[in-house]
Structure formats: structure tokens, C-alpha cells
Amino acid sequence: MTLAVCPGSFDPITLGHLDVVRRATLLFDEVVVGVARNASKSGLLDVGSRVALARAACADLPSVRVVEVPGLLVDLCRELGAVAVVKGLRGGADYDAEQPMALMNRHLSGVESVFLTADPRYAHIASSMVKDVARHGGQVDDLVPAGVADAVRRALGVVPTGAQPGSPTTPLPGGVTPPGPADHPNQGAS
């Protein structure tokens, strides 16, 4: 049985991420989505919310499970017995960023990286762009799995079209309540 880890910060998970995970299930018996903290990025959603959203997005994929990456990705790969790390590439810039990490992961643990080229339908979608569009009131529901756009808008303090300010927050799957604008340390920062 082969197992691969598909890591990322998933802040938030997008349809592009989900497409890579689905395609990875065709290559490996089990795929573990590893939700990681990225020290070089300022997160919008806390890790618990990102895990809950990823679990909900992958609920129809029986060979996929979602876990938090507690430290180094290679340590998680060793613990799980992963034979590969799967990453999606939208273009050359993604390859330039991912290649040194793939080499370091192989150096540290021997685990290989498998790069899947983005489906053209999703190649323009990036978590950072989803957040930016949502921050300015733009429509992002068609870029992310169900429930994710609402979680992003709540975390940003953006009222969805037709909703009233101060309306109750709907918990994420798994009972996790997403952070509100007062909970986010970068609220108001651009």
C-alpha cells in the first residue's frame, strides 16, 4: 500500500488544492492532506479551522485523511511511512519555489516529491488571491469548496451579500467556530 502526503498551508483550501488531492488518489492508495503552519506567511484562518475545512472538502474521498503537520514535513512523512510528497504546480514560479524544498525533503528523509501540473480550470486560483478578492467584497464561492468562502469572509469581517452585520456565526464542520475579525491579529492590515 502506497501513501503520499499532500502538504500545504491551505489558508484557505481551494478548488485547485482539491483537484490535486483528487488526482493524487489515482496515483497512491492513501493520500494524507497535511495542513501546516507556514512561518513565512501570516495566516488568516487558524490551523484548526483549516483542518476542519479540508476535512469537509475531502469528505467524499475515502482514501484521503486530513491531519495537522506538527513540525517538519519529513517527520510526518517518516511517521506515516509516506513514499512521496505531492505538490501542485500552477506555473514556473511554483516550480522555482517547490524545487529547493523537494531537494531538502529528499536530503533529510529520502522521500521523493511528485509534482502535478495544475488543471487549466484552476491554474489561476491561489489562496492569497482568494483572500484578497474576498477582502474587497468580491465573489470567491466558485473558487473554493462549499463553506470555505463564508469562513474566509467571517475571518476577514466581510459581510456576505444579503447578510446582516452581527448575524450569528455558523460553525465549521466538526463544530469548530471560525475566527471573527476581532480574533485575527492582522485585521485591518493590508
Q: Which of 17, 50, 131, 184 is catalytic?
A: 17
Q: Which of 41, 107, 121, 124 is catalytic?
A: 41
Q: Of 49, 45, 52, 17, which Cα lies nearest the Cα of 31?
A: 17
- The question of whether 41 is a catalytic residue gets the answer yes
What's the chain look like in SS3?
CCEEEEEECCCCCCHHHHHHHHHHCCCCCEEEEEECCCCCCCCCCCHHHHHHHHHHHCCCCCCEEEEECCCCHHHHHHHHCCCEEEEEECCHHHHHHHHHHHHHHHHHHCCEEEEEECCCCCCCCCHHHHHHHHHCCCCCHHHCCCCHHHHHHHHHCCCCCCCCCCCCCCCCHHHCCCCCHHHCCCCCCC
Q: Which of 23, 65, 90, 135 is catalytic?
A: 90
Q: Which of 9, 127, 153, 154 is catalytic?
A: 127
- The question of whether 131 is a catalytic residue gets the answer no
- The question of whether 37 is a catalytic residue gets the answer no
The whole-angstrom separation of Cα 2 and Cα 138 is 41
Active site members: 17, 41, 90, 127
